Amino acid sequence: MYEVSDKTSNNQIIWWADLHHNNSEDKIVVEIINDYDTSDGAKVSIYKGDTDLLIYSFSALLPHAGWGSLYLYTDENDAYLMNWMPGMWQGSGIYSHEVFFFDENDEKSVLDSGSLGFEWDDWQREYEDWPELIEYINTVNSYLAKSWVIADTNGGTLIYSTQDNQIVNLLYPPYIY
């Protein structure tokens, strides 16, 4: 279903997964960025099958509030990508996720998405939406429990999986500030 291949060269890590759900694996290329004039991080490119047809791109750059992460989520026999973006900004925050695959036209098809915004001052006082927060975190945890890290900039540090270091559940449970 999914595997991390041993193909690594020029700071690229290659993954394979059936993101179209058509019994044909798509190529996931993680390019490590080592350009100190811009932002260290990673660029993830998804190519249809073993072609050069780019169908999706994701950048996990370091200098920002929160972080960017892309996971490979599997549910039984199907593979999905999960974009998990928790972020905090001067007293407020928003956590968001999107779980998706690609249809026969290479368009993104969303399985699930959601977000939760909050103010930090509310947490220090009486936070009225704890059930909503707990439900949201449990939803994200259910995905992370079945996910592999493709690229993540947690806390300003780039983390990615390779054949020898397959990272599972990096943010399980997700951080609650």
- The range of the structural domain enclosing residue 96 comes to 2-160
Q: How many domains does the chain have?
A: 1
Does 144 reside within a domain?
Answer: yes
pLDDT digits (tens, 9 = 90+) for 123-167: 555 556 778 878 888 899 889 888 888 888 766 777 787 656 777
List for the chain the helix, strand, coil content (%; round to 5). 15, 50, 35
> What is the reported pTM?
0.82
Asked if residue 34 belongs to a domain, the reply is: yes
Give domain status of residue 170, yes or no.
no
- The one-letter amino acid code at 137 reads I
